[in-house]
Amino acid sequence: MATSNGQPHTADAVGAPPSVAAIKQAAQEQVVDPYNVSGGTDEHGNTKAIDYEALRTKFNTPPLTEELLQRFEKVTGKPPHRLMRRQLFFSHRDFDKILDHYEKYGFFMLYTGRGPSSDSMHLGHAVPFLFTKELQELFDIPLVIMLTDDEKFYHTRNKNHGEAKPGTMVDDYIQFALQNAKDIIALGFDQKKTFIYTDFTYMGGHFYQNIAEFETLLTVNQVRGAMGFDGSTNLGLNSYPAKQCVAAFPTSYPALFGRDDWDLVNDKLGRRTKDIAAIPTLIPCAIDQEPYFRLLRDNCGRMECPSPKTALILSKFLTALQGPGGKMSASDPTSAIFMSDTPNQIKNKINKYAFSGGGATLEEHKENGGNPDVDVAFAYLSYFLESDEELKEIETSYRAGTLMTGDLKKKCIAELQKFIGDFQEKRSQVTHEVMKAFMTPRKLEFSGNPHIEVSIPAEAPVDVQPGKKGSKKDKKKADKEVGKKDLPMHEKKEEPTS
């Protein structure tokens, strides 16, 4: 297009900058699955915060309501953990049914895990373990922690197109897992109630029997649809979901409940049993792990020894230092505060990288206030500061512009330095022998609900068993209890004397 004097219009001239309209790009939708976490981008390429309500709707997981928190407090006799109160654990599947079961039968199994991609965990990894520890203490129940060294090996090799690069060998991931196990132990778990293992070193016996059976229940298309895989994904990753799913079955760990595993060498020929399968499991985890357990819940009732649908309590992500839209990553040191960081490293990372919701200038901040909703320092305080009142005061002052960004970062730095300093002191006391004690299969010691006789159903509920119609007669049979005297992992409780 030419101007009135015959010269080309500025917008059409060679080398002219594109118009604003021309540089707009297609907005990218958020992607959240076990291997990708992104809030997406807008039409200008700006990173968007993760929309947790949209994610909850997409996954069809109910919210963790105030009513459910009140029920939790009634059952446990304790107020909900700060991560529940602040909606950082914000969604669930069948958490209400787990509370029902605890009231009726007295216990359930906790299961969570960690994918060891480096020799030190970061704060984002610590959050679900801190919450899990609280649940274990409140309910007095057994806990299993799976370290998925094999899955991280598969994933890295898949990214490297099968190439064996230095630092990505099987032995590397086993060592990462062992170091991560020490990190987890240092968070304060009770060894009598906790079993930790790595996939490369534990799988066999009933665990592998469960894997083999569960693999027959999944199709390649189901796994690809849930995990986002395609034809170029290696076989290891395609087969892995069955392993993470059956790790939720108590029958994968017979020794923890005083039963024999299948061990021909030592003449232990135990078989999987329906009473152990009937123990329900609760999994605290970040919401990106939900696709695994959707596969699990769809198929757990089809096993030879059926299990109840696994319950989940799902968390948001601890945001990366750079701000909303992603999560901390072990592969990017500038995105995360590591549990091995020094006080000076913590200070420098918060001051240099932590995204601020404050005003561009001091005057602007005083006039308009800051936005704690996007401020990383405030976000970290919401995870680790115990006092609700103090956190609310910080939020109010920041919004009013009376608390400066620098002062907010100082509060965050001090809180994280204290938390990580205390952790590192405990970590130094975790010896190889201590780690071995946690990783040795043995009967766990727990008491469960102090108000009732602890027991388990004879088998899983009728509605999850194949071939059952759910008649009243069948329902009555399924509700038949095995008394505490028949459950070898418990000692009979002594009645208090007056």
Q: Read off the pLDDT of residues 336-389 as tens digits, 9 standing for 90 and up.
A: 899 999 999 999 999 999 999 999 899 999 999 999 999 999 999 999 999 999
Dist. CA 214–CA 106, nearest whole Å:
28
pLDDT (tens digit, 9 = 90+) per residue, 414-426? 999 999 999 999 9
* Contact criterion met (CB below 8 Å) for 327 and 115: no
Provide the pLDDT confidence category of residue 489 given band limits of 50, 70 and 90. Answer: very low
DSSP single-letter state for residue 10 = G
* Contact criterion met (CB below 8 Å) for 427 and 183: yes
Reported as type and span, the H/E element at residue 196 is: strand 194-198
pLDDT (tens digit, 9 = 90+) per residue, 166-218? 999 999 999 999 999 999 999 999 999 999 999 999 999 999 999 999 999 99
Stronger pLDDT, 378 or 463, i.e. the higher one? 378
Q: Region 125-154: what's the mean pLDDT?
A: 96
Closest to 432 in 3D by CA, of 66, 185, 137 = 185
pLDDT confidence of residue 375: 94
Among 111-115, 244-248, 332-336, name the one with the lowest average pLDDT.
Answer: 332-336
pLDDT confidence of residue 476: 43
Provide the pLDDT confidence category of residue 295 given band limits of 50, 70 and 90. Answer: very high
pLDDT (tens digit, 9 = 90+) per residue, 244-255? 999 999 999 999
Closest to 92 in 3D by CA, of 272, 261, 314, 421 = 314
Domains and CATH numbers, the chain: 25-52 (no CATH), 61-316 (3.40.50.620), 332-427 (1.10.240.10)
Q: Cα torsion at 335, 340, 343, 345 (round to 10°)?
A: -40
Q: What separation in angstroms does the CA of 235 have from each of 36, 215, 299?
A: 19, 13, 21
Alpha helices per DSSP H over 203-359: 205-215, 220-227, 235-246, 274-277, 290-299, 343-353
* Contact criterion met (CB below 8 Å) for 234 and 151: no
Q: Region 408-434: what's the mean pLDDT?
A: 97
